[in-house]
Chain A
Amino acid sequence: ETGVTQTPRHLVMGMTNKKSLKCEQHLGHNAMYWYKQSAKKPLELMFVYSLEERVENNSVPSRFSPECPNSSHLFLHLHTLQPEDSALYLCASSQDEMRGADTQYFGPGTRLTVL
């Protein structure tokens, strides 16, 4: 595998289910990100981890819970979601050597549908 991978690519869940999204980066980067992309809003940053520590929690509801066990893996745990949480969830990573000028590399996303 190369770049940033995400699993599953598609997920349908009920409002009472618990599920997890997985992201893995094969680039040796030290920062990872979760973004939400919905039809009517710009891309929204949800969480940022740098060296496995969370540095941003962008006012995200507690029904979304991130986990970064090491610099290569990032999870997003989901529980009791709402239909408005249906969106494309994108993971990204970056090396963060250039103080804001680094390129973020994105995975293909997980298309989440909440029924």
Chain B
Amino acid sequence: AQSVTQLGSHVSVSEGALVLLRCNYSSSVPPYLFWYVQYPNQGLQLLLKYTSAATLVKGINGFEAEFKKSETSFHLTKPSAHMSDAAEYFCAVSVPLGGAQKLVFGQGTRLTINP
């Protein structure tokens, strides 16, 4: 069965520092992988997704993620953190489900940016 593990429920970085949020997946088939962000009192917004094209995926707000099959990882990075990046981040794997799909989410990582 497909599953996702996010290492670190809380990550804190200084403004301008590198952001690295870790995600490892388990899947018996080539996976489709997603990163979503949730700002306070809002729903989830897609940052980026991997759909078996390029292994380095660029998303919105300067984020990118690299799919590494050998490590079963899909870590999210941003070279320089901004205060507005403070939010909760979710990694997810997609499971086809009849005519729809099911997203299996990790536990989430809360990112704090220190001034």
Interface size on A, residues (CB 8 A): 29
Chain B residues, CB < 8 A from A99: 96, 101
CB contacts under 8 Å to A, within B75-115, are 90, 94-108
Expressed in whole angstroms, the Cα–Cα distance for A101 and B36 within the complex equals 14
User: Within the complex, which residue of B41, B90, B94 is in contact with A101, where a contact is CB–CB below 8 Å?
Assistant: B94
Expressed in whole angstroms, the Cα–Cα distance for A37 and B5 within the complex equals 17
User: Within the complex, which residue of A31, A43, A107 is in contact with B90, where a contact is CB–CB below 8 Å?
Assistant: A43
The answer to whether A42 has its CB under 8 Å from any CB of chain B is: yes
Q: How far is the CB of A74 from chain B (nearest CB, A)?
A: 12
Chain B residues, CB < 8 A from A49: 100
- In the complex, the answer to whether B96 meets A100 with C-beta atoms within 8 Å is yes
- In the complex, the answer to whether B108 meets A108 with C-beta atoms within 8 Å is no
Stretch at the interface among B13-21, B43-51, B64-72: B43-51
Q: How far is the CB of A36 from chain B (nearest CB, A)?
A: 11
Given contact pairs A4-B43, A56-B97, A94-B100, A103 touches B49 in the complex (Cβ within 8 A): yes
- In the complex, the answer to whether A100 meets B45 with C-beta atoms within 8 Å is no
The answer to whether B42 has its CB under 8 Å from any CB of chain A is: yes
Which B residues fall within an 8 A CB radius of A? 32, 34, 36, 41-46, 49, 51-52, 90, 94-108
Which A residues fall within an 8 A CB radius of B? 4, 30-31, 33, 42-43, 45, 48-51, 55-56, 90, 92, 94, 96, 98-109
12 CB contacts below 8 A, A to B, read A4-B43, A30-B99, A31-B99, A31-B100, A42-B106, A48-B98, A55-B98, A56-B102, A96-B100, A100-B32, A101-B32, A108-B42
